[in-house]
Amino acid sequence: MGGNPIIPGFHPDPTICRVGDDYYIAVSSFEYFPAVPIFHSRDLIRWTQIGNALDRVSQLDLREAIDSGGIFAPTLRHHDGRFWLVTTDQARMTRGQLIVSAEDPAGPWSEPVFVAGALGVDPDLAWDIGGGCHLTWSTYGDASVILQAAVDPSAGVLLSEPQRLWSGTGLAAPEAPHLHRRGDWWYLLIAEGGTARGHAVSVARSRSITGPYEGNPANPILTHRSTADPVQNTGHADLVKLPSGQWAAVYLGVRPRGFAPQFHVNGRETFLAAVRWEDDWPVFDEGHYRVPPADTTFIDDFDGDALRPQWISRAGDPLTFAALGAEGLALRTPDEENREHEFVAVRARDDQWAAEAVIRAGSARLILWLDSWHWARIGLYPDAVRVEVALGEIRHTLAEVPADTGGADTLAIRATRPAPEVDRITSPPDRLAFGLLEGGEFRSLAELDGRYLSTEVAGGFTGRVIGIGAAAGGATIARFAYTPICDDNLVLKGI
């Protein structure tokens, strides 16, 4: 049943809403800034990022965020001419859920309000037929349950005491509630089983938004656990009603590769399913939509007035250390405290890909990053070009060659499928090569087994990103290119 994601790469916890013929998706972003990417589509298949909901430090300061901390799952809704987004900032969880709103989903979004007394994660907003707003969320811990209270979303004030709605079917971690009304029923969609191989979607319904809720006897209504489907960890779904009256769902999944236990490297991605109704219960039809591979090519000559919305940073606002200028993207010498984290990055989105950065001047690094303990990079320094890697507490130089500073240098990374002759039992998800582009040809300096930069090894909730950072003295970047590799032969060629 597995297929292509509609938003590939590290784009987890999707939430969707429709306004007229326009669809909008928001996803979680964890420790990266700007936060909560917003996507737009007219056909549910092709999606374009139009902005980020939290793009100002006054809204969100992630400089102290831990790995897989930061912004958790959001809910995006439209009510009375305004878009509303509610989410959890892990670092400020004790302040309650974070709410922002906007007239235009591309922004600007408002300054946040926090709902004190709503402690937990994965919040949802829903308006009843009388116009009252209800906040629903999951408690955080081993004995999670789904809670709900009336709320004033503009002021961030609870208007009633939290009440328990449902605790799921008995699987681990009932979370990610989303409420939808269809006919005389309210449907409470949740995720269960933990966001790994046991992940699942379950649903309950009630005649009243406040319950009581009765679970579907057919639960879970979506899961790929214990199957050979190439898409795994399916869960965390949200529903949307189409103009035709039909329904669809978005949900997250991963595409693991290699030998057992298999390894996923690009994080949790967003997938699409049709939804039909049987006996007033939703049924997922994963085979209904034919989703072609998304266009993931991303090339930036840094000739605009602002950084494009795809660029993210692990060190807070990238404009504190990066600036666009006539020569390209200028990166300052990183602060000693943040020297590993100061880079701008885009998400890796394909099974095979090539990334290149043209260094106009200075010392720079092209980085493949999973978290603070799992990364690899190729760096151009005054004396040498070095390939360095971090694997947990291990720091190691894989290769070093003399630097040629006669002109612009192009640092390059390739991710490709393992060679067919690799033994199946040691088969990694991919092979990573770090090198230089010389005369249009890729020259590999060092290679690495892709398992070491996978979620199954590192843990956490994120996926790989590809970043550009400066070393001592700063750097100017003339061009960055990320391109999927569609043919094994292209691994030896430039893009």
Catalytic center residues = 13, 175
Q: How many residues does the chain have?
A: 495
- In degrees, to the nearest 5, what angle opens at C-alpha 111 toward C-alphas 154 and 250? 75
Taking the CA of residue 53 as centre, how many other CA atoms within 13 Å lie in the half-sphere pointing to its CB? 29
Q: Which two tokens stand for residue 69?
A: 């901390």
* Amino acid sitting at position 232: Q
Q: Is the peptide bond before 220 cis (omega within 30 degrees of 0)?
A: yes
Cβ pair 479, 469 in contact under 8 A: no
d(CA 242, CA 87) in angstroms, rounded, equals 25
- Please state whether beta strands 200-206 and 214-215 pair in parallel, antiparallel, or not at all (unpaired): antiparallel
Place of tokens 């629903």: 136
Tell me, rounded to whole angstroms, the distance of Cα 435 from its chain centroid: 27
For residue 53 the two structure tokens come to 């909901």
**CB of 358 within 8 A of CB of 478?**
yes
Alpha carbon distance 102, 437 (integer Å): 44
Report the alpha-carbon distance of residue 138 to residue 321 in Å, rounded. Answer: 37
Structure-block tokens of residue 238: 């949200």
